[in-house]
Amino acid sequence: MMLSSHLASPPPPFSLRSPDAHPLLCTETPSRLLQRRRRRRDLERTGLALTVRARAGGAAPGEVETAMVERPRPSSFQVSRGRPTPLGATACVGGVNFSVYSSSAASATLCLISLADLNENRVTEEISLDPMINRTGDVWHVFLKGDFADVLYGYKFDGKFSPEEGHRYDASHILLDPYAKAVISRGEYGVLGPDGDCWPQMACMVPSDGDEFDWEGDLPLKYHPKDLIIYEMHVRGFTRHDSSKTDFPGTYRGVVEKLDHLKELGINCIELMPCHEFNELEYFSYNTVLGDYKMNFWGYSTINYFSPMVRYSSAGLSSCGQDAINEFKTLIKEAHKRGIEVLLDVVFNHTAEGNENGPVLSFRGIDNSVYYMLAPKGEFYNYSGCGNTLNCNHPAVRQFIVDCLRYWATEMHVDGFRFDLASILTRSSSLWDAANVFGKPIEGDLLTTGTPLSSPPLIDMISNDPILRGVKLIAEAWDTGGLYQVGTFPHWGIWSEWNGKYRDVVRQFIKGTDGFSGAFAESLCGSPNLYQEGGRRPWNSVNFVCAHDGFALADLVSYNDKHNLANGEDNNDGESHNNSWNCGQEGEFAGISVKRLRKRQMRNFFVCLMVSQARITVHLMGIPMLYMGDEYGHTKGGNNNSYCHDNYVIIYALPVFYIQLIASN
């Protein structure tokens, strides 16, 4: 994938459709111009291309001529106008409809790419979209008939390259459709592309009318939130180590093989860390501390929101990604058979395109000023801490997010979503305009970009959507811009929150810090100090002691300080205030009495979580959430920010002890 050169694109060719595009064309009369347009259209229909040029040598001022050039290679597809909805590539009777939103592009080209040409970084066929025929409003569209076997697609958009105005169009980039259902590039996890490229060209799967999956009558489980016991897990990390003894380690199928283990624990809901398409090689660099390579292991850097992570599939690129989709669906179906709901951790706060120096993959090249929250001179706001911020409350972007959530709920049968850095979803969009959002101006409206909104349009849409209001909605109610909304997140009566205050209070109390008895009692009773006044119930609190971000439970009782040297950042990354206690000695290797105390402390934390479960005490408490591996004392060696490790730091299991939870049923 090419990086933007940040240089202005060359001007588009002179167009007979715009006489103002070149001063020579302004001298033609309207009737002559209309004749020329008709002639050009007739010739285009016969497959002949025209160029416009000033006659050289003695040409009269203002006189132009048209010249027929070589007939292009015949298209292998029948091309027609298409329709603007639905967005994305849609299989229809006789062909495929392609539709993509771009409000400011001057031109759009559909690129068709065979699997063989993708590996060679070539485009098999380009189909230019006529703005007079293939554009409705801000949507470009076309319908193709033909053989799409082993054919992928992408887009090229041209227009202004003017970062200070928010536009970054560059027709040299092949861009991913934001609505693509699978993204194809490298087939094997962690393996570099051709010539060692970490960002080889990507392309989108073309859907087929015959892509059917046998759900065997699967239906949503629809557990009440008060009955949930959530298990946060990473698809690859859960079974990648040999100790998992799975036939398909590190994949969706590997998770299926271990579902019975979760059922035995009493788990009835798993929360999957990001499974949308991302690039695990994004941080690829040599780690001098461990002698291996850093990876984007966690996956909080989305490339495409509709596509499951293909390299989490044992099927790889088989059937151009369709088999990976089916493997994910199989995971959902098999989980439901065992009475386990599945939630997805979704990252609608930023994308993998980063700041102005990041790669151009999709959103930036399609409509940068719409998809990203921009400052007046085109700079990227960074409320995510990852270089950019998705412009969530822009009308087009919030519709995109709702469409995406609906797809995962209806087509993929997931039971709900946990929203990473969800407070960003409450911030006002770039060029905030109340009339644009609400249909009328608001008196005294002086909101600027990024201002927290009491009634964010996106949260309103999700909360009142006839499909989405029936699924689990969980907010991580803070962001890296300093907005902290635990207990105050806009909720419409249906949102739950990761209760970070519960985590902090319970850690302080269990390790013996004075002054936390009252706060601890409130935490065990569903945090009424946070949720009662807003009309919510205890089950709107997701209670946890440990999660992916921070210490594992065994490390929480073994380390006073973080030990993140393996990250290669001189231990400067990660949270320094962990409210942990090593029980008298730092690290794994300690005396017998210290180890005995650590085991007791871990049991204390588990007891706190389980007595905080709503179902046990007549619906007075919250929802408990466990972190993957804590049930047997998994350790990460004191690393509390293991985002970049696909190695023993993540998947090494130290069986300190094993706790069998009481089955929820």
Active site amino acids: 420, 476
Residue 62: count of CB within 10 angstroms of its CB: 12
CB 244 within 8 A of CB 254: yes
Two tokens, residue 258: 């271990």
Eight-state DSSP code of residue 77: S
DSSP letters along 96-119, please?
EEEEEE-SS-SEEEEEEEEHHHHH
CB 75 within 8 A of CB 86: no
Instruction: Please name which of 401, 266, 282 lies closest in space to residue 346, comparing C-alpha atoms.
Output: 401
Tell me the C-alpha to C-alpha distance, in Å, between residue 580 and each of 44, 486, 586, 628, 638: 71, 22, 11, 19, 11
Cis status of the peptide bond prior to 19, with omega within 30 of 0: no
Strand, coil or helix: 162: strand
Distance of CA 277 to the CA centre of its chain: 7
Residue-level length of the chain:
665
Beta bridge partners of 344: 272, 417
CB 278 within 8 A of CB 346: no
CB 418 within 8 A of CB 344: yes
Two tokens, residue 354: 């980063």
Name the strand (E) or helix (H) holding 464.
Answer: helix 457-464
Any residues with CB less than 8 A from the CB of 380 and at least 6 apart, and which? 355, 356, 372, 373, 374, 387, 388, 389
How far apart (Å, rounded) are the C-alpha atoms in residues 509 and 507?
A: 6
Name the strand (E) or helix (H) holding 236.
Answer: helix 235-239
Exposure string for 214-243, b = 16+ CB within 10 A, e = fewer: eeeebeeeebebbbbbbbbbbbbbbbbbee
Token pair 């557990």 is found at 223
Residue 395: count of CB within 10 angstroms of its CB: 16
How far apart (Å, rounded) are the C-alpha atoms in residues 100 and 102?
A: 7
Two tokens, residue 582: 């090593």
Backbone angle region of 557, left / alpha / beta, with phi > 0 → left and psi within -120 to 50 → alpha: alpha
Tell me the C-alpha to C-alpha distance, in Å, between residue 425 and each of 303, 388, 577, 588, 660: 18, 13, 27, 40, 38
Rg of the chain over all Cα atoms, to the nearest angstrom: 27
How far apart (Å, rounded) are the C-alpha atoms in residues 473 and 99?
A: 29
CB-facing half-sphere around the CA of 499: CA atoms within 13 A: 33
Distance of CA 428 to the CA centre of its chain: 20
Two tokens, residue 191: 């393996």
E strand map for 254-403 = 269-272, 276-278, 285-287, 292-294, 302-308, 341-346
How far apart (Å, rounded) are the C-alpha atoms in residues 258 and 317?
A: 24
